[in-house]
Homo-oligomer: A and B are copies of this chain.
Amino acid sequence: MALNREKIIVAAIQLAKKDGLESLSMRKLASKLKIEAMSLYYHFKNKDQILSALVDHAFKLIDWKPDKNNWKTSARDRCVSLRKVLNANPWAVSLLDSRRNPGLETLKHHDQMLGLFRQNGFSLKLTAHAYAILDSYVFGFAVQENSLPVSNSDDIAEMSESIFSDMPPDFIPHMMEMTMNYYMKPGYSFAAEFDFGLDLVLDGIEKEFNEERQYSKELI
């Protein structure tokens, strides 16, 4: 029954999920926990520490264990899982670019990802490359998915109507073409773009990896 850090974090996530991160205040959080706002300061130094704990908690939500036997499949699974978490918890995306001190879960997660590459024979250099590009892609995709006003083709029709209506004709011809003849076609979903890009990136990394191995064999 007693208040503790875990309970505070869980309540904070619920609030962030329901009303968005920007409406998460110490007072509202306290009220949800049926305590006074000042009590939170006994458990956390300040709001920023709560937000950092939230980010670290988000990493716990990633359903993934590295599989040493196939770096490509395993890295792929991890990216799919990460995106799923970022998509279900948009607040995490907004928080990620403001956190400075990674928590234990965050560090552990990154370590496992690095380990996956290293244990499969990636050089330090290529590990850094692979790591940076994969995370850039996944985070960036999540940012874009987040900022999309809408998701299905019906919604796109509705919102493009509102954009195009007060626009000089031919101001954005290619956007109009794409919208009319592609995005608005039934069945289109931006989410599906994710796999295409992910595989493209993974194939690129694999190619680099093979070249690296080839090169080291030639040295023998």
The chain A residues found within 8 Å of chain B, CB to CB, are: 22, 90, 93-94, 96-102, 104, 107-108, 110-112, 114-115, 118, 124-125, 127-129, 132-133, 135-144, 146-147, 149, 163, 167, 171-175, 177-178, 181-183, 190, 193, 196-197, 200-201, 203-205, 208
Contacts and interface: CB of A to CB of B under 8 A. Distances in A.
User: How many copies of the polypeptide does the oligomer hold?
Assistant: 2
B147 A140 contact: no
A24 to B, nearest CB: 14
Task: Describe A's contact surface by its main secondary structure.
Answer: helix
A129 B204 contact: no
Contact of A141 (B110, B118, B132): B132
A114 B200 CA distance: 19
Which of A129, A140, A149, A163 gathers most chain B CB within 10 Å? Answer: A140
B143 A143 contact: yes
B205 A96 contact: no
A107 B179 CA distance: 12
Which of A107, A138, A190 gathers most chain B CB within 10 Å? Answer: A107
Nearest to A108: B172
Contacts of A114: 174-175, 177-178
B124 A182 contact: yes
A125 B182 contact: yes
Nearest to A119: B174
A152 to B, nearest CB: 15
B171 A108 contact: yes
